[in-house]
Amino acid sequence: FAYFTWSGRSLYLDDLFVREAYRGQQIGKRLLGAVVDFAAAEGCKKVRWQVSRWNTAAQEFYKKFGAEIDDVELNCDLRLDRDGH
């Protein structure tokens, strides 16, 4: 779970992956639907995840599902496994 200032309690989805051999069989749709149903049952206001700019197939899948993909936020990673941190 995550909390976002402007929207409140949310669910953060880290990865959704369907092996290529199983794509086109509605598996991704059912998996994402189960995540959305779970988030709604837990009182979440939204589900958030990232998609790579190059992954246009995934972007189209998410748009068909009703997701809004913006170009406003970018990921920031500060790795703590380096020497001195």
| Catalytic residue annotation | 62
Q: How many residues does the chain have?
A: 85
Judge contact between 50 and 59, C-beta under 8 A. no
Give the pair of three-digit tokens for residue 17: 């992956």
Judge contact between 29 and 23, C-beta under 8 A. no
Residue whose tokens read 């409140």: 8
